[in-house]
Amino acid sequence: MATAERALRLPEVRTAEERGFLSWLMTVDHKRIGVLYLLTSTIMFAAGGVEALLMRTQLIRPDNAFLGPKAYDQVLTMHGTTMIFLAVIPLAAAFFNYFMPIMIGARDVAFPRLNALSYWLYLAGAVILYSSWFLGGAPDAGWFNYVPLSDAFSGPGENFYILGLLLTGFSSIVSAVNFITTIINMRAPGMSLMRMPVFVWGTFLWSALLLFSAPPFSVALILLLLDRIAGTGFFVPAAGGNALMWQHLFWIMGHPEVYILAVPAWGIISEVIPAFARKPLFGYRGAVIALFAITSLSFTVWSHHMFATGMGPVVNDAFMVTTKLISLPTGALVFTWLLTLWGGRIRYTTAMLYAVGFLPVFIVGGLTGLMLATAPADLQLTDTYFVVGHFHYVAVGGILFSMLAAAYYWLPKMTGKLLDERLGKWSFWVTFVGFNLTFFPMHLSGLLGMPRRIYTYSPLLGVDVYNLLSTVGAYVLGVGLLLTIVNVVRSLASGRKAGADPWDARTLEWATPSPVPAYNFRVIPLVRSRDALWYEKHAADGDGRVRPSEEVAGAIHMPGLTYLPALLSLGLLVAAYGVNFKLAWLAALGGLVAFYSIFRQMFEADRGYLLEPRGESE
C-alpha cells in the first residue's frame, strides 16, 4: 500500500470532512476528540454520581442495611476512582482538547494521531474498570488501594483497578507530551508565552504534572500486579518488602493529582471571570508565577497524606512546611480573581454564577486543607469525615463548579446553540445549596469522630442528624446537576443560535464561527496583545476582527483519518484482559496487535488531505 508512487502523490482535495459514524472512530480532529472526551467523561461522571447516591442512601441512618459492607466497599472505591481518573481528568482533557489549540491560534495539536490515542486508551481503561462489576466484583480497597487491603489475598477487583489505571495513566502521559509540544511549538505569530490565556498555562502545567506523576504510579501499579499474579513480595513485609512503599509511590502521584484536578479549574475561572467582569485578569504575571510555584511545590508534599503512618517527626515536619508553603501561591491566585472582580462591570450569567460560587467554597476547602496540613491536628482529624468534607469542598465546590462554569461558557461555542439562562440559574442555586447541604455537615460529623470509609455508624456517636442532612443534600445536588443535563439536551434540540461571540469575550476561540469548522482558522491569526480578540475589538487601528498573519493559501492541509490509535488501544485492552485472566495467548495476541499498530504508525507517512473551505472567508 505504501509504495513510493503513492507516497509521492499529492494529497487529494476535498470540500468537506467526513461526518459519518465510522469517522468518529477514526477522527484525529482535536475538537471531535474533545467532544468524545466530554461525552465519555459525562457518562462516567453520572456513574460516579449514582455510586455517591448509593453510599449516601446507605448512610441516611445508623445501622442501615441498604448496602452490605462488601457492596459498600466496592461502591466507595469505584466512586473515588471514577470521579478522579475517569470523570474529572478527562473532563479537563475535553476542554483542553477543544479549546487550547484554538486559543493559541493553531489548526490542531502537534500530534493529532497521538491525541486520538489518548482518548481511546482512556476509554479502554474505563471499560476495564467498569467491566469488573460483571467479572467477579469491583475493586474494594479504596481509590488509594493501600496494601495489604489490595494484596494477593484480597478480591479479584483490584486487578481491574491496576490494569485500568495503567491504561489511563498511559493515556495521560501521551496527552501531556502532546499538549506541551503543542503549546511550545504551535502558537500563532505574535502569541508569545506571556500573551497566552491562563487557561493555556493551565493546560501546560496540567500536562507537566501528569507527565511526571503518572510514571511513579505506573511503577506502583506494575509492582502490585506482580505481587498479585507472580508471587513477588514488593509490598509484603514478611518477604522483606515494604507496605509503606506503596503509599509513597501512590502519593507521589496522588498529591500532584490534586493539582491535576485543580489547575484546569483555575484556568477556567481565570477565563470566565475576566470575560464577565469585562476587565483583564488582575496580575496576570503573578498568576502565572503562582501556577508555576504550585506545580513545582506539589511534588514535594506527598507525605502529608501519611502523617499517621509513623514516619517520625523529622519527615513529618519537613512535609508540613512544604505543604504550608504551597498555600501562599494558592492564596495569591484567589486574590487575582477577587481583584479582577473589583470594579468590573459584572454580568451574572450562569457561567459567571458558577465561577463566583466557586470562590467561597474553594476558600473553605483551602482553609480546612491548612488545618489538615498541621501534623498534630492531622493525627486527630485523619480518617474522619472532616477529611471527606475538606476534599469535597475542593473537588466538588472547587473543581466541579468550575467545570460547570466552563460548560455554560463554552458549550455554545461547541454546539453553536445557547443554553437557557433561566434554567441555568435554577441549576446553579439548586446545585450550590445541595452541595453545601451535603458536605458542610461532614466537617461536623468528622470532628465528632465519625470514621470515613466505613459502611455504617453507631447511633451512639451522635451524628445521625448530620448524616441525614448530607443524604438529603446529595439528592438535591443530584437534581441540580440533572437540571444542567436537561438544559444541554433542550439547547441541542431547540436552543437559540449562539453566533460567534455571544459573551463579548476576550480570547481567540470567540473569533471563530460556532461551531468551529474543522480547520479552526481559515487563515492563521496574528496576535497583537494578551486577550487577542478583545484588543482587536477596541484597538484604534483595528476593524474589530483579528488580523490574518499570512496570505490566503487556498486549500488547507488536514491530517488523514486513521483507525490505528483505536486499534492500538484495542490491542492493549485485549492484552490487559489476558493478563487479568492469566491467559498468555490472549495477552500475546493483544500485544501483537498493539505492536503492529505502533510500528505501522511509526513508518507510515500520513499524506492527509487538502480541505477546500466552502463559501465565505470569515
Partner 1 sequence: MSSRPLEALQQEEEEREAALHAENVRLGFWVWLASEAVFFASLIGVYVALEGRSVAGPTPTDVFDLPVTTLATLDLLLSSLTMVLAVVSMWRRNQGAVKLWLALTALLGLAFLGFQATEYSGFMRDGLLFNTNVFSASFYTLTGFHGAHVAFGVAWIVGLLISAFRGHLRPEEAHKLEVAGLYWHFVDVVWIVIFTVVYVLGTAA
Partner 2 sequence: MSARSEATGRRAENEHPIGAYVISTVVAALLTVAAVVLAYAHVAIGLLAPLLLAMALVQIFLQIYYLMHLNRSPRAYQVIFGIGVALAVLIGVALGVLDRIP
Q: Does 311 bind partner 2 (CB under 8 A)?
A: yes
Minimum CB–partner distance for residue 473 and partner 1 (Å): 40
Q: What angle do CA 390, 395, 398 make, to 5 degrees?
A: 95
Which position among 186, 308, 325, 433 is part of the footprint of partner 1 (CB under 8 A)? 186
Binding span for partner 2 by CB under 8 A among 140-148, 309-317, 434-442, 500-508: 309-317
65 touches partner 1 (CB under 8 A): no
**DSSP state for residue 383 in the 8-state scheme:** T
Q: Which is nearer to partner 2, 295 or 484 (CB)?
A: 295
- Burial pattern 142-179, b for ≥16 Cβ within 10 A else e, equals bbbbebebbbbebbbbbbbbbbbbbbbbbbbbbbbbbb
Alpha-helical (H) ranges within 302-400 are 313-341, 350-373, 375-381, 385-392
CB-based contact 122:90 (threshold 8 Å): yes
The DSSP result for 16-76, as a single string, is: S---SHHHHHH---HHHHHHHHHHHHHHHHHHHHHHHHHHHHHTTSTT--SS-HHHHHHHH
| Footprint on residues 229-288 left by partner 1 (CB under 8 A) | 230-234, 238-242, 245, 249, 252
* Binding map of partner 2 across residues 564-603, x = CB under 8 A, - = no contact: ----------------------------------------
**Calpha distance 42→34 (Å, rounded):** 12
Cβ closest to partner 1, residue 7 vs residue 22: 7
Listed in sequence order, the DSSP H helices in 419-463 are: 421-447
Residue closer to partner 1, measured from CB, 541 or 551: 551
How many angstroms separate the CA atoms of 480 and 490, rounded? 15
The mark string for 208-247 relative to partner 2 (x by CB under 8 A, - otherwise) is x--xx---x-------------------------x-xx--
Stretch that binds partner 1, among 128-136, 176-184, 347-355, 498-506 (CB under 8 A): 176-184
315 binds, among partner 1, partner 2, none (CB under 5 to 8 A by kind): partner 2
How many chain residues interact with partner 1 (CB under 8 A)? 47
Cell triple for residue 27? Answer: 477522527
Tally of CA atoms within 13 A in the half-sphere of 492 that contains its CB: 7
String marking each residue 109-128 x if it binds partner 1 according to CB under 8 A: -xx-----------------
Interface with partner 1 (CB under 8 A), residue from 212, 475, 535, 596:
212
Q: How far is the CB of 312 from partner 2 (least distance, A)?
A: 5
Q: Which is nearer to partner 1, 222 or 328 (CB)?
A: 222
Decide: is 22 part of the binding site for partner 1 (CB under 8 A): no
Partner whose binding site includes residue 234, from partner 2, partner 1, none (CB under 5 to 8 Å by kind): partner 1
Q: Is residue 21 near partner 1 by the rule CB under 8 A?
A: no
Q: CA 534, CA 517: separation in Å to the nearest integer?
A: 21
Cell of 499: 453566533
> Apex CA 593: angle with CA 589 and CA 594, to 5°?
115
Q: Out of 553, 584, 585, 614, name the contact with partner 1 by CB under 8 A.
A: 553
Tell me how far apart the alpha carbons of residues 450 and 316 are, in angstroms, rounded to a whole number: 25
Q: Check binding of 186 to partner 2 (CB under 8 A).
A: no
Is 73 or 378 the residue whose CB approaches partner 2 more closely?
Answer: 378
Burial of 291 (C-beta count, 10 Å sphere; 0-12/13-18/19+): buried
Phi, psi of 51, rounded to the nearest 5 degrees = -60, -40
Query: Which one-letter amino acid corresponds to residue 608?
Result: G
323: which residues sit within 8 A by CB, 6+ positions away?
Answer: 301, 304, 373
What is the distance between the alpha carbons of residues 180 and 262, in angstroms, rounded to a whole number?
18
Residues in binding contact with partner 2, number by CB under 8 A: 19
Question: Using CB under 8 A, which residues numbered 287 to 306 contact partner 2?
Answer: 299-300, 303
Q: What angle do CA 23, 25, 31 make, to 5 degrees?
A: 75
Q: Does 468 bind partner 1 (CB under 8 A)?
A: no
Q: Which is nearer to partner 2, 311 or 500 (CB)?
A: 311
The CA-atom distances, in angstroms, between 384 and each of 381, 390, 452, 467, 552 are 6, 10, 5, 13, 62
Tell me which of partner 1, partner 2, none is bound by residue 87, counting a contact when its beta carbon lies within the kind-specific cut-off of 5 to 8 angstroms.
none
Q: Is 335 exposed, middle or buried (0-12, 13-18, 19+ CB in 10 A)?
A: middle
In the bound state with partner 2, the residue whose beta carbon lies nearer, of 193 and 588, is 193
460's contact among partner 1, partner 2, none, with CB below 5 to 8 A by partner kind, is: none
How many of the other CB atoms lie within 10 Å of CB of 241? 18
Does residue 602 touch partner 1 according to CB under 8 A? Answer: yes
Give the one entry of partner 2, partner 1, none that residue 311 binds, where binding means its C-beta sits below a cut-off of 5 to 8 angstroms depending on kind: partner 2
- DSSP-derived letter for residue 384 is B
Picked from partner 1, partner 2, none, the partner binding residue 303 (CB below 5 to 8 A depending on kind) is partner 2
Interface with partner 2, residue 248, by CB under 8 A: yes
Rg (CA), the chain: 25
Closest separation in Å from C-beta 169 to partner 1? 10
| Partner interacting with residue 226 (select from partner 1, partner 2, none; CB below 5-8 Å by kind) | partner 1
Binding site for partner 2 (CB under 8 A): 180, 184, 208, 211-212, 216, 242, 244-245, 248-249, 252, 299-300, 303, 311-312, 314-315
Binding site for partner 1 (CB under 8 A): 4, 7, 110-111, 173, 176-178, 180-181, 184-186, 211-212, 214-216, 218-220, 222-223, 226, 230-234, 238-242, 245, 249, 252, 551-555, 557, 599, 602-603, 605
